[in-house]
Amino acid sequence: DAGVIQSPRHEVTEMGQEVTLRCKPISGHDYLFWYRQTMMRGLELLIYFNNNVPIDDSGMPEDRFSAKMPNASFSTLKIQPSEPRDSAVYFCASSRTSGGAWEQFFGPGTRLTVL
């Protein structure tokens, strides 16, 4: 049973470049979440989707960040242009509401380094 899949696992890029992170949620899950984790700020929720529709993007730091979910099995988080302060580990998580469980399952993360 595959968990949440993220790619790439590591990304090193230069300031100003576009970065695209990808996520495949667990099949059957109707919620998808993007988080960012840094030593300074801990885990921060950036945006989440329900049935492919963005519900809350109040955590997206600025217009350089955008996220899409074109279908139930794929989501992207894009940073354009990237800056060194975007360096962090980005996690994708998914959950389902059947049974009212709301348990979130996380992917392995993408470690982003912006030089």
Residues in contact with another protein by CB under 8 A are: 4, 31, 33, 42-43, 45, 48, 50, 55-56, 58, 91, 93, 95, 100-109, 111
CB of 65 to another protein, least distance (A): 17
Query: In the complex with another protein, which residue's Cβ is closer, 82 or 110?
Result: 110
Query: In the complex with another protein, which residue's Cβ is closer, 5 or 81?
Result: 5
Give 34: exposed, middle or buried? Use CB within 10 Å, 0-12, 13-18, 19+: buried
| Separation in Å, CA 62 to CA 31, 43, 58, 81, 102 | 22, 17, 10, 11, 28
CB of 23 to another protein, least distance (A): 12
**Omega of the bond leading into 81 within 30 degrees of 0 (cis):** yes
